[in-house]
Structure formats: C-alpha cells, structure tokens
Chain A
C-alpha cells in the first residue's frame, strides 16, 4: 500500500517508520525539512518538504494514487483541512486525522472524518494507570 504521512513529529516519524518496515511505500510530508532528522537513518520511504494543505504539494506527494493518508501535524486545523481535501477532493479511501481538541474531534467525526484525539486517550490512560479506585465513568470519547 502507498501511504502519505503529513507531519514528521515524534508520532509522524514513528508511524512512517513502522509502516515502511512493514513493507508499505511511505511518503512523509513536513513544512520544516529539519523534521526529517527524526526518521530512522535506514528509513526506506520518501520525504517531501511542503505544506499539506496546498493541493499542489499533495499532488507532488502522489495523493492521486495514495491508498491512505494520515494527518498528524501539531495543528488540528491543518490536519482537518488536509484530511478533508484528501478524502473529498482526491478520493483517498482511508484517511485518519489527529485532532487534539476533543470537541473539534466530535464535530469533524460527525462530518465524516475518522479522527483520533490523543488528549482523550492519554487522559484516560493516565487515570487508569493510577489504579481502579480512580476510574471514572467517562471512557475515551
């Protein structure tokens, strides 16, 4: 499969490396080319410096033949916009978006994005790590 990963932070670099090691073709996109230093030295995929909310950049990354798109930059709105472009304009079949803000995650999930909120997941894990006596009814949203 061909996967485009937008955002080469800790998470993006890790996702890209793991997918690449499993034999997938991977292109990582980041506005800042210095970010690619986070990739393993033996990373077999492609890197591209550019802004993922720009359709010209997405085309250069190969969005028209991508099987999957993952948006994990630091900006929720950038992730949301790039994901919607990939899904609705380029018809990428599998699009996953990181959205820190839980409310925003709910809104865009309702609008058809598959979204993950690390805020909700991390809070839940932290509380669970405290032990069962701290457990609350609020699960991950």
Chain B
C-alpha cells in the first residue's frame, strides 16, 4: 500500500516507522525543514519537505496514486483541509484525520471525512472505564441518531442482581442486548437471570439514560 503521512511530529514519525516495518511504501510530508531532516536521518529518504495542505505539494507527493492519506499534524483545521484537498482534487482512495477536539468527529463526518482518530476520546474512554461505580459507561453513540450503547456493571447490592430480565422494569426505548459474564457473551432471553459481576450492554436513547441507570444500577 502507498501511504502519505501528512505531518512528521511524534504521531507521524511513529506511524511512518510502523508502516514501513509492515512493508508499506510511505512518504512523510513535513513543513518544517529541520524536522524533515531529522526524520530522514532516522528513517531514510521517505520524507518530503513541504506543506501538505497545498495542492501542489500533495500532487508532487503522489496523492493521485496514494491508497491512503493520513493527516496527523497537530491542528484539526489543517488535517481537515489536507483530507478534503486529497479527496476532492486527487481522489485519494482513503483519508484519515487526527483530531484533538472529539466533537470534530461528527463535524468532519458531515464534511465528508469519515475516518477520524482522537487521542482525547481514547483517554476519556479509558478514564470512564476506570470509574464504573454507579455509572453507565458510554461505549458508542450511533451516528445521526439519539441512540447510545452503554455498559452497566451489576454490583453487590444492586436491585437487579438475581432477577430475571423480564422482571426488571426498563424505561421505554431501552433494551439489554448482551450480557458479558466470565468473558462470555450471552444473548439474553426474558428468563435469563442477571448476576452480580455481569456487564450489561444496553441500547438507550440519551433522554432515557438516567432512567436506565436507575433501573440497572439503583440499590435496593
């Protein structure tokens, strides 16, 4: 695969290094000449000095034949423009943008860039997984809908522990889709019992999240 990595900061550098180790053809486009020279000293002549948001530079980099352009500079607006120029002008097969503001995932999607990666979001999800007590853990927001996929961990003393699913009064527009128990995924039936330690994976609308939390995590 031919991959253009736009931005030779730490993310771009290690991305390029990994891709090369996996046997891909890589070109890093870096707008700071000193940084470009540093990367070249470490990784060889796989660096081009130039600003990847300029169409002329992307053309020279071979955006037309690239299978993938990864825009990983530190600025969301630069990454957006790089991806849009690659798609609109050079019909690059696939583009991926790094974003800092997690809210930009939806904005980029609306502007035609479907693949975004946010370190902020990743750290946030780790933090949220570490604070499970009495909280629903947000797993996923279904795009263009109001639907959230959440996880609820059943604690000792929970009022749902030991009860069958059909005996648990769930709010409207909520459903428990999967129960994770001892590393197995159970697709529950109405008479499946809920046990302490279970992780309940549920679909809910954001308006019903609080009611779902009370239903699944409320104490007796």
A residues contacting B by CB (< 8 A) are: 53-56, 75-78, 80-81, 84-85, 88-89, 101, 103-104, 107-108, 110-111
Contact = CB atoms under 8 A, between A and B. Distances in A.
Contacts of B199: none
A104 B77 contact: no
A107 B87 CA distance: 10
Contacts of A88: 110-111
B30 interface: no
B55 A103 contact: yes
A77 B80 contact: yes
A103 B85 CA distance: 10
A101 B107 CA distance: 23
B151 interface: no
A55 B53 contact: no
Contacts of B81: 76-77, 80-81, 104
Given A89-B107, A103-B54, A53 B84 contact: no
A54 B54 CA distance: 23
Contacts of B54: 101, 103-104
Contacts, number: 49
Contact of B77 (A55, A81, A103): A81
Given A81-B76, A85-B107, 15 more contacts: A55-B103, A56-B103, A75-B77, A76-B53, A77-B75, A80-B81, A84-B111, A89-B107, A101-B54, A104-B53, A104-B54, A104-B81, A107-B55, A107-B84, A111-B88
Given A55-B103, A101-B54, A107 B77 contact: no
Contact of A107 (B76, B80, B88): B88
Contacts of A110: 88
A54 B89 contact: no
Contacts of A89: 107, 110
Contacts of B80: 77, 80-81
Of the listed residues B53, B84, B88, the one surrounded by the most CB atoms of chain A closer than 10 A to its CB is: B84
A110 B112 CA distance: 14
Contacts of A108: 84
Nearest to B89: A107
Nearest to A52: B77
Contacts of B111: 84, 88
A103 B53 contact: no
A78 B76 CA distance: 9
Contacts of A103: 54-56
